[in-house]
């Protein structure tokens, strides 16, 4: 069914269709309308979930962790400082191997306060172990939320679905709302192997020793490092599982096919711009303008950021002359996080493209098509100048 709604409502609808059972809700701009919509779904009876209006984001993730450990499908949403406030809990959810799904309406982080869009919030969590998926438009938001629940319970790792605050969360677009019956066929009920059960008692996630140790039935049980190693191995294996899930989604709903990267006019391109989120779609206008001028350029949007699809990216960018990574985040004191990851992925290639890094849009600074055009044009005309210091787009005042 086609509807016109906001990105936040697209996300909430995805959660409802996925039959979330426990929802922890705390308001924070620009995610709040998602949370409000979910309360409407629950109070009207459209979604039979427990809706818990918690007193902080740290508690929101605590509710999800506990509810998931007790065997139910749990969800919460947040942005920016809320995501950071629950940082301790994000690590906990991963280590506990819980299939929680969370939406992050991307927003910049304080200090100083900002409510506007950039990617610093989710980028700051890239090492935690959560799977990170980024949606580029409203259709991708609702579709990715549904895929996220399936991926999370398949690999027992939590998944965050990120989309641009305001640019996607608050704008309205037409998209297809999948049928509940089709979603039910795509997403089986949550049936965990281990959960809190008075009939089968166990003590979850207590102090775990550095070394292996014999258990009550005489079997050698792992130490902390083995458990974390298993997590990492599963994260890397999740790449292939997500490809499989995405293929299945295409079968059910006729959409998808770009689990890792979404490419536009990249096949015969000499130059490729890389970005995350709605920026990758805004760049398409610039690509079309430059193509009119005979410049063989394309744009690639990264859809799965963690686990990092290094092989897919290396395949996509191998043989290109210059790759320009434009980011709304920065690893302060170094360079753009995506830039660093792409550089590592390309390191093994015999003929590595030249890499350029641009930082833009922090704290919601408007990104004009002309600015993108100027930056890409410069990079394409001077590709050989490899720069490790990121350039900035859109600064107005000098220090």
Give the interface with another protein as residue ranges (CB under 8 A): 21-22, 24, 49-50, 52-56, 58-60, 62-72, 74, 88-89, 92, 95-97, 154-157, 193-194, 196-198, 200-209, 213-217, 221-222, 226-227, 230, 234, 237, 240-241, 243-244
CB 37, min distance to another protein, A:
19
Which residue, 42 or 372, is less far from another protein as judged by CB? 42
Which residue, 89 or 278, is less far from another protein as judged by CB? 89
Q: Are 296 and 319 in contact (CB under 8 A)?
A: no
CB 310, min distance to another protein, A:
17
Rounded Cα distance between 277 and 302, Å, is: 8
CB 377, min distance to another protein, A:
42
CB 144, min distance to another protein, A:
18
* Backbone dihedral angles phi then psi of residue 159, each to the nearest 5 degrees: -125, 130
**Which is it for strands 74-78 and 271-275: parallel, antiparallel or unpaired?**
unpaired
As given in the structure block, the two tokens for residue 278 are 């709605």
Rounded Cα distance between 8 and 14, Å, is: 10
Rounded Cα distance between 71 and 241, Å, is: 22
Which residue, 87 or 318, is less far from another protein as judged by CB? 87
CB 240, min distance to another protein, A:
4
CB 308, min distance to another protein, A:
17
Q: Are 30 and 57 in contact (CB under 8 A)?
A: no
Which residues touch 1 (CB under 8 Å, ≥6 apart)?
Answer: 176, 177, 179
Which residue, 180 or 230, is less far from another protein as judged by CB? 230
Which residue, 239 or 261, is less far from another protein as judged by CB? 239
| Exposed/middle/buried for residue 22 (C-beta within 10 Å: 0-12, 13-18, 19+) | buried
Rounded Cα distance between 227 and 234, Å, is: 11
Which residue, 6 or 21, is less far from another protein as judged by CB? 21
């Amino acid at each position: 069914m086609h509807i016109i709604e906001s990105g936040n409502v697209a996300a909430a609808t995805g959660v409802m269709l996925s039959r979330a059972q426990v929802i922890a809700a705390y308001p924070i701009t620009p995610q709040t309308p998602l949370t409000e919509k979910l309360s409407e779904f629950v109070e009207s009876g459209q979604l039979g979930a427990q809706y818990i209006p918690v007193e902080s984001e740290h508690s929101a993730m605590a509710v999800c962790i506990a509810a998931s450990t007790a065997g139910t499908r749990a969800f919460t949403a947040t942005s920016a400082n809320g995501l950071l406030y629950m940082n301790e809990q994000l690590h906990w959810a991963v280590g506990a191997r819980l299939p929680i799904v969370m939406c992050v309406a991307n927003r910049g982080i304080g200090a100083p306060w900002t409510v506007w869009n950039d990617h610093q919030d989710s980028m700051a969590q890239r090492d935690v172990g959560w799977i990170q998926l980024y949606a580029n438009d409203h259709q991708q938001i609702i579709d990715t939320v549904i895929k996220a629940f399936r991926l999370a319970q398949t690999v027992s790792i939590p998944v965050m679905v990120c989309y641009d605050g305001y640019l996607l969360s608050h704008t309205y677009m037409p998209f297809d709302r999948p049928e509940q019956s089709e979603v039910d066929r795509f997403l089986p009920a949550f049936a965990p192997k281990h959960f809190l059960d008075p009939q089968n008692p166990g003590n979850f996630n207590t102090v775990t020793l550095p070394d292996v140790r014999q258990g009550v039935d005489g079997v050698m049980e792992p130490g902390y490092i083995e458990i974390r190693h298993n997590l990492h191995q599963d994260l890397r294996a999740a790449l292939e599982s997500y490809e499989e899930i995405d293929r299945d989604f295409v079968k059910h709903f006729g959409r998808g096919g770009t689990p890792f990267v979404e490419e536009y006019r990249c096949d015969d391109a000499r130059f490729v711009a890389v970005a995350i989120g709605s920026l990758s779609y805004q760049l398409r206008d610039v690509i079309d303008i430059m193509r009119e001028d005979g410049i063989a350029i394309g744009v690639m949007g990264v859809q799965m950021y963690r686990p990092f699809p290094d092989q897919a990216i290396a395949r996509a960018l191998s043989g290109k002359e210059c790759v320009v990574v434009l980011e709304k985040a920065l690893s302060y004191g170094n360079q753009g996080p995506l830039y660093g990851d792409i550089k590592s992925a390309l390191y093994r290639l015999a003929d590595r493209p030249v890499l350029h890094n641009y930082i833009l849009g922090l704290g919601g600074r408007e990104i004009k098509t002309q600015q993108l055009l100027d930056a890409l044009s410069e990079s394409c005309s001077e590709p050989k100048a490899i720069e490790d210091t990121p350039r900035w787009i859109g600064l107005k005042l000098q220090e």
